[in-house]
Amino acid sequence: MKIAILGYGKMGKMVESVIARDGIHEVCMKTNSSIRNDFQTSLKNADAAIDFTSPAIVMHHLTACLQAGIPLIIGTTGWHDELEKIKLLCKEKNGAVIYASNFSIGVNIFFGVNHKLAQMMKYRKEYEPRITEIHHVQKKDAPSGTAITLANDILKYSAAKTQLVNKESGRSDELIVLSRREGTVTGLHEVEFTSAIDRITITHEAFSREGFARGAILAAEWIQNKKGFFEFNEIFTDILASSEAD
């Protein structure tokens, strides 16, 4: 499979490195602000494109991929307010898109654990939920897309919380999601439920970006010959089963 890398920053370079080491696929193009090739022409040679760029240009890449008939894997976060618009455009163009707030296999297992915990805590008002996320100082969006996904599952089931806030809050209807930017931290997410007598905590810590890259490549393999807008956590089990079968 020929893969186009849209965004040749740290994540784009990690995707390229994993592809080179595995020797199964090939990178047919890579682009960022300093690599200005003939984008539209080069894109037509790809079987899939993987986007790790910035929120400002995700829509441009999506439009280009839909016009070229190329499946797009979106790993960029911070554009969630455009989600419905992107779903509609994908449907209109009969395109193929997979989005994830986090493509890590471990994080998606973590999502499943958080989902189950949120269900169990639905009526346990004595427990106060809170999320903390820590990333490197270069990460621009806060809270992280991963933290928002975790928060949305808690909000979905909570009988008390109605919205998330990215700050300390004294309001009982607000779910606190605290963001910290420190050094070169790849990514750490912690969900806690605290009562007067105990605390339940689940944590995921990424040691490198390789997990994100491998998940995105798995998504690119899975979406071949498919149409529609998919979220990685929704099809995660099917993607794992497909990779194991191969």
Please give the C-alpha separations between residue 207 and each of 9, 104, 193, 204, 214, in angstroms, as whole numbers.
18, 11, 25, 10, 14
Residue 54's pLDDT is: 87
User: HEC profile for 103-123?
Assistant: CCHHHHHHHHHHHHHHHHCCC
Q: From CA 38, how far away is CA 46, in angstroms rounded?
A: 13
Whether residue 116 has pLDDT greater than 90: yes
37 pLDDT band, cuts 50/70/90, is: low
Average pLDDT over residues 190-207: 98
Radius of gyration of the chain (CA): 19
The answer to whether 97 touches 222, Cβ cutoff 8 Å, is no
**pLDDT mean over 215-235:** 93
Of 244 and 30, which is predicted with more confidence? Answer: 30
Q: How confident is the model at residue 44 (pLDDT cuts 50, 70, 90)?
A: confident
* Segment 147-169, tens digit of pLDDT: 999 999 999 999 999 999 999 99
Q: Catalytic residue at 61?
A: no
Lowest mean pLDDT segment, chosen from 51-60, 167-176, 216-225? 51-60
Query: Per-residue pLDDT for 38 more than 80?
Result: no
Average pLDDT over residues 14-40: 83
8 Å CB contact between 179 and 168? no
Distance CA 165, CA 177 (A): 6
- Measure CA 116 to chain center: 20
Phi and psi at residue 165, to the nearest 5°? -135, 140
Burial tier of 1 (Cβ tally within 10 Å: 0-12, 13-18, 19+): middle
8 A C-beta contact, residue 86 and residue 228: no
pLDDT at 23: 95
- For residue 19, CA distances in Å to 12, 201, 208 come to 11, 35, 16
Q: Are 145 and 80 in contact (CB under 8 A)?
A: yes
Phi, psi of 23 (to 5 degrees): 70, 20
> Per the residue annotation, which of 135, 161, 189, 204 is the catalytic one?
135
Whole-number pLDDT of residue 242: 74
Mean of the pLDDT values across residues 35-41?
61
136 is catalytic: no
Position 235 confidence tier, pLDDT thresholds 50, 70, 90: confident
Better-predicted residue by pLDDT, 243 or 65: 65
